Structure 1
Amino acid sequence: MGPAELLVLTFPQETITVEAASALCKLRTGGDIRVIDSLVVTRHPDGEASYGELADFEHLRGVVGGGGHAQVLPLIGPEDAQEAAGLLEPGTVALLVLIEHVWAQAAADALRGVGGRIASGVRIPPENIEEAVRVAKARAAAGK
């Protein structure tokens, strides 16, 4: 198995839309990553939080059903849901997605073959990369 990562994707409404669920289903079949598990966490307007599987939401059942969904492993638990709920404002929702970086599996296998392992990884948000590129370009333009 390649490296895995838990992502918390937040949305400014109280439910996951069909479009967001459809995008998740595309990830399941794209080949570069594999969705291992997912969970929806909702912070209701009264401040209470709840969580459930995508298939628990009637408007998403047709979107998330099928072969790809049956292979999902139940690894995201209540503790993860509680932690994500702490990030949410009332009236918003989060989609927790545990993904495997399938593209990195060959590298991980090669490392294990010689006694190594991927010990850690750091996810750098795109906006941080964009800022670093902007700064580097500004320095290059200034001749530094």
Structure 2
Amino acid sequence: MGPVEFLVLAFPCDGIGATVLEPLERLRRDGGVRVLDVRKLRRGRSGAVIAEPGEAGLITEDDVTEAQELLDEDESALLLLVEHVWAAELTAAFEAARGRVAASVRVVPEAD
């Protein structure tokens, strides 16, 4: 199994277009990532949060609680648990050549 990443992708409650999700779908379709679980959250204008159940049950209620604290009023979020399949394949190739992954650090670029 490759590295697993938990993402909270926030957007206005009026929705997110399919074109925004296309890069994720393309990566999934091409085998670069495997979506392990998905949940949707919505914080209304009143501040109340509605959480849809996950598909696989891997994103826990603790994850939802943490994610909902990141949402502003009238904002939604897509919670994704993804496996980086490409990294597992690369790691396997290194190990087959008697190599190893000496470090793995995720660097998030600052927003403009």
Shorter-chain TM-score above 0.5 = yes
Aligned to 1:103: 86
For residues 16-41 of structure 1, the C-alpha deviation after alignment (integer angstroms, 9 at most, x for no partner) is 43416742433421311111111111
Aligned to 1:87: 70
Give the counterpart letter for 2:9 in structure 1.
L
Give the counterpart letter for 2:110 in structure 1.
E
Aligned to 2:16: 17
Contact conserved, 1:34 with 1:101, CA < 8 A, in 2?
yes
Contact conserved, 1:16 with 1:40, CA < 8 A, in 2?
no
- The structure that has the greater radius of gyration is 1
C-alpha separation between the residues in 1 aligned to 2:103 and 2:47?
Answer: 35
C-alpha separation between the residues in 2 aligned to 1:120 and 1:15?
Answer: 40
Give the counterpart letter for 1:79 in structure 2.
D
Correspondence 1:73 to 2:72: no
Give the counterpart letter for 1:85 in structure 2.
Q
Secondary structure, aligned partner of 2:25? helix
Q: Give the Å deviation of 1:91.
A: 0.3
Higher share of residues assigned helix: 1
Q: Give the Å deviation of 1:121.
A: 4.4
C-alpha separation between the residues in 2 aligned to 1:38 and 1:120?
Answer: 28
- How much is the aligned-residue C-alpha RMSD, in angstroms? 3.1
Aligned to 1:123: 106
- Structure 2 length normalisation: TM-score? 0.75
Aligned to 1:133: none
Aligned to 2:7: 7
Q: Give the Å deviation of 1:50.
A: 1.4
- Structure 1 length normalisation: TM-score? 0.60
